[in-house]
């Protein structure tokens, strides 16, 4: 039955695909569409997108999602946007055309610039103001690179002829003609002061970025403009914007301080709501803006595991130990333990709390009886063990343990993994009924602003439990497994070319 109050359309603009989902008031999916778009790798370690291709792909899936939902554009009351974070788009103010390929968050081209800023003793200055590390991952040094490499672009920027934006900002420009972004996306750029909630002139001067290129920063639940009428046949307001991980935290209804979520995809992204306090990390976590609604800002601690579900792809594609990801669960359950085998999947270095880019993976503890099932089980355990390191770092910084972990992402389909996470972390792990939690978060932010949902409590009522995993491991075993894991990590980090 059609909802007389209409629907919310959510854009989920990811790194490899664009998705659009139409949600109803219960937070249920009424229709959706998804399309991949091209990736460009012009040099080793470089990753680019074509911003026009992102836009065309996003617009197409938005129209498809409305059609698949069987609703009219007139029934869409608001649009929410969530997006791949940190990716840099630079476009011409007059023509609206991108002046360079989008430089993707994964791109390492500004490594030398980061090293230079660190050598100048500026890391602490950036950390205090932005909550981030001086790593090529974040937007700022990607812009520095562009303005250093291309003097013509630099001149245009200094003349006020260019606009910079993360992907949300680019989509908002195309949709509404406004040059705006939200605080969560701004907080990933290395240029935004997360305490004052303003672009930081000192950091801009260190990075060599003219302030004229920057978008206006709005709250995450705000009036971002209305879509140009020709796009959907009518003007639709855009009322919610947040980076993908922050949107997922919101989509899980982690509204209160102390609530955390972990997304188990290719890698893991764990965020802990720390309330109105930007907690400084002593454990290599990032401090970031979770969202701003009205005048109230909420902060989060964030950590990431680089290789999570990817270790299962590796078992399947490289070692050929399994034929599919779901098979990993059956194989892991065929043995009572890993028989002493530990896998440290540091294929691209180790993330939080180690931040060791030079570490490489290892399989340790092999004995004559070690078999395929032990290796598969150890690989799954490594996902949870790395996540436990994140949770431990978070509770250390926050001063309190995480009480419940809300989980989403493709690898949550693996119940062995979810149970092992609950066991090794000593914390219940819960899965929501709705899988598209990131898109839902953006929809909630939009719907809150336009009155579709009246309050966070109204939204919380939508949260439906799919499954819950209670910790069920004795403390002695837990400590033994953790100690073995940490010794394996140390040994792995010791071994470097």
User: Which part of the chain contacts ligand ADP (CB under 6 A), choosing from 121-129, 290-298, 391-399, 406-414?
Assistant: 406-414
User: Closest distance between ligand ADP and the C-beta of residue 82, in Å?
Assistant: 12
Nearer to ligand ADP among residue 140 and residue 251 (C-beta): 251
Nearer to ligand ADP, 17 or 474 (CB): 17
Q: Does residue 413 belong to the site contacting ligand ADP (CB under 6 A)?
A: yes
CB of residue 318 vs ligand ADP: minimum separation in angstroms? Answer: 12
Q: Is 122 exposed, middle or buried (0-12, 13-18, 19+ CB in 10 A)?
A: middle
Supply the minimum distance, in Å, between the C-beta of residue 115 and ligand ADP.
28
DSSP code at position 111: H
Q: For residue 266, state whether it binds ligand ADP (rule: CB under 6 A).
A: yes
* 74 near ligand ADP, rule: CB under 6 A: no
In contact, 268 and 390? CB cutoff 8 Å: yes
Cα of 430 vs its chain's centroid, Å = 19
Q: How far is it, in rounded angstroms, from Cα 309 to Cα 387?
A: 12
Shortest reach from residue 410's CB to ligand ADP, in Å = 2
Q: Does 325 bind ligand ADP (CB under 6 A)?
A: yes
Looking at residue 281, what DSSP letter applies?
A: P
How far is C-alpha 266 from the chain's CA centre?
11
Should residue 186 be labelled a site residue for ligand ADP when binding is judged by CB under 6 A? Answer: no
Q: Cis bond leading into 353, ω under 30°?
A: yes
Q: Does 348 bind ligand ADP (CB under 6 A)?
A: no
User: What sign for the dihedral angle of Cα 134, 138, 142, 143?
Assistant: negative
Q: Is 282 helix (H, G, I), strand (E, B) or coil?
A: coil
> For ligand ADP, which is the closer residue by CB, 325 or 473?
325
Piece of the chain touching ligand ADP by CB under 6 A; list 41-49, 170-178, 224-232, 305-313 = 305-313
Residue 82 interacts with ligand ADP (CB under 6 A)? Answer: no
DSSP secondary structure string for all residues of 356-373: BTT---EEE---TT--HH
Q: Which is nearer to ligand ADP, 206 or 416 (CB)?
A: 416
Token pair 């919380």 is found at 460
For residues 244 and 389, which CB has a smaller minimum distance to ligand ADP in the complex? 244
Which residue of 312, 359, 362, 424 would you call a contact of ligand ADP, by CB under 6 A? 312
Taking contact as CB under 6 A, which single stretch among the options 73-81, 323-331, 342-350, 471-479 is the one that binds ligand ADP? 323-331
| Pairing outcome for strands 268-275 and 260-264 | antiparallel
Of 414, 425, 462, 492, the residue at the interface with ligand ADP (CB under 6 A) is 414
Tell me: does residue 309 bind ligand ADP (CB under 6 A): yes
439 phi, psi to nearest 5 deg: -60, -35
Scanning 26-34, 232-240, 403-411, 458-466 for contacts with ligand ADP by CB under 6 A, the matching segment is 403-411
Q: Which residue is nearest to ligand ADP (CB)?
A: 410
| Residues with Cβ within 8 Å of residue 160, at least 6 apart in sequence | 93, 210, 212
Q: At what angle do helices 309-317 and 372-398 cross, to 10 degrees?
A: 160
Pick the closest to residue 207 from 140, 285, 136 (CA basis): 140
Residue 154 burial (CB count, 10 A): 17
**Please, what is the minimum distance in Å from the beta carbon of residue 324 to ligand ADP?**
8
Q: Which of 6, 409, 441, 447 binds ligand ADP (CB under 6 A)?
A: 409
Backbone region of residue 490 per phi and psi (left: phi > 0; alpha: psi in -120 to 50; beta: other values): alpha
Distance of CA 254 to the CA centre of its chain: 15
Residue 265 CB, nearest distance to ligand ADP (Å)? Answer: 3
Compute the least distance from the CB of residue 173 to ligand ADP, in Å.
Answer: 26
Candidates 208, 340, 396, 410: give the one binding ligand ADP (CB under 6 A).
410
Report yes or no: 464 and 432 within 8 Å, Cβ to Cβ. Answer: yes
Nearest to 222 by CA among 455, 445, 6, 438: 445
Judged by CB, which is closer to ligand ADP: 182, or 244?
244
Task: Please state, in angstroms and rounded to a whole number, the distance separating the CA atoms of residues 289 and 272.
Answer: 11
Q: Does 265 bind ligand ADP (CB under 6 A)?
A: yes
Nearer to ligand ADP, 141 or 421 (CB): 421
* Single residue of 328, 352, 382, 421 touching ligand ADP by CB under 6 A: 328
**Among 272, 310, 393, 407, contact with ligand ADP (rule: CB under 6 A):** 310
Which of 74, 205, 313, 454 is the binder for ligand ADP (CB under 6 A)? 313
Strand-pair partners of 20: 11, 33
Cβ-based nearer residue to ligand ADP, 272 or 411: 411
The DSSP secondary structure of 382-413, one letter per residue, reads HHHHHHHHHHHHHHHHHSS----EEEESGGGG
| Shortest distance in whole angstroms from residue 435 CB to ligand ADP | 9
Q: How many residues bind ligand ADP (CB under 6 A)?
A: 15
**Binding residues for ligand ADP (CB under 6 A):** 265-266, 309-310, 312-313, 325-326, 328-329, 409-411, 413-414
């Amino acid at each position: 039955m059609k909802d007389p109050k209409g629907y919310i359309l959510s854009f989920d603009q990811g790194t490899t695909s664009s998705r659009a989902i139409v949600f109803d008031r219960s937070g249920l999916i009424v229709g959706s569409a998804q399309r991949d778009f091209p990736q460009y790798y012009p040099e080793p370690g470089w990753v680019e997108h074509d911003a026009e291709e992102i836009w065309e792909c996003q617009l197409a899936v938005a129209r498809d999602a409305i059609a698949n939902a069987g609703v009219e554009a007139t029934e869409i009351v608001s649009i929410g946007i969530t997006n791949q974070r940190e990716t840099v788009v630079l476009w011409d103010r007059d023509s609206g055309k991108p002046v360079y390929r989008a430089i993707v968050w994964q791109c390492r081209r500004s490594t030398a610039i980061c090293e230079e800023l660190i050598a100048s003793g500026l890391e602490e200055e950036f950390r205090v103001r932005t909550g981030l590390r001086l790593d090529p991952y974040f937007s700022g040094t990607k812009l520095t690179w562009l303005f250093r490499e291309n003097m013509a672009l630099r001149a245009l920027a200094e003349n006020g002829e260019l606009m910079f934006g993360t992907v949300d900002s680019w989509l908002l420009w195309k949709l509404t003609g406004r040059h705006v972004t939200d605080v969560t996306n701004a907080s990933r750029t290395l240029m935004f002061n997360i305490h004052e909630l303003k672009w930081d002139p000192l950091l801009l001067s260190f990075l060599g970025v003219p302030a004229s290129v920057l978008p206006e920063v709005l709250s995450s639940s705000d009036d971002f403009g209305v879509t140009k009428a020709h796009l959907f046949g009518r003007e639709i307001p855009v009322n919610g914007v947040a980076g993908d991980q922050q949107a997922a935290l919101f989509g899980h209804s982690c509204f209160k301080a102390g609530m955390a979520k972990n997304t188990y995809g290719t890698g893991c992204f764990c965020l802990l709501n720390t309330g109105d306090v930007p907690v400084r990390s002593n454990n290599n976590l990032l401090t970031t803006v979770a969202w701003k609604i009205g005048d109230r800002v909420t902060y989060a601690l964030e950590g990431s595991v680089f290789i999570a579900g990817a270790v299962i792809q590796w078992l399947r594609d490289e070692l050929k130990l399994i034929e599919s990801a779901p098979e990993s669960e059956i194989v892991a359950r065929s043995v009572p333990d890993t028989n002493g085998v530990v896998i440290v999947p540091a294929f691209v270095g180790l993330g939080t709390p180690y931040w060791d880019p030079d570490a490489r993976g290892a399989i340790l503890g092999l004995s004559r009886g070690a078999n395929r099932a032990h290796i598969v089980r150890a690989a799954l355990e490594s996902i949870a063990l790395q996540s436990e390191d994140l949770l431990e770092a978070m509770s250390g910084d926050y001063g309190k343990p995480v009480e419940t972990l809300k989980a989403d992402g493709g690898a949550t389909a693996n119940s062995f993994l979810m149970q092992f996470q609950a066991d090794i972390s000593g914390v219940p792990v819960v899965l929501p009924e709705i899988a598209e939690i990131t898109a839902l978060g953006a929809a909630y932010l939009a719907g809150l602003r336009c009155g579709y949902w009246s309050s966070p409590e109204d939204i919380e009522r939508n949260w439906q439990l799919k499954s819950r995993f209670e910790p069920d491991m004795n403390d002695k075993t837990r400590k033994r497994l953790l100690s073995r894991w940490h010794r394996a990590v140390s040994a792995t980090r010791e071994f470097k070319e």
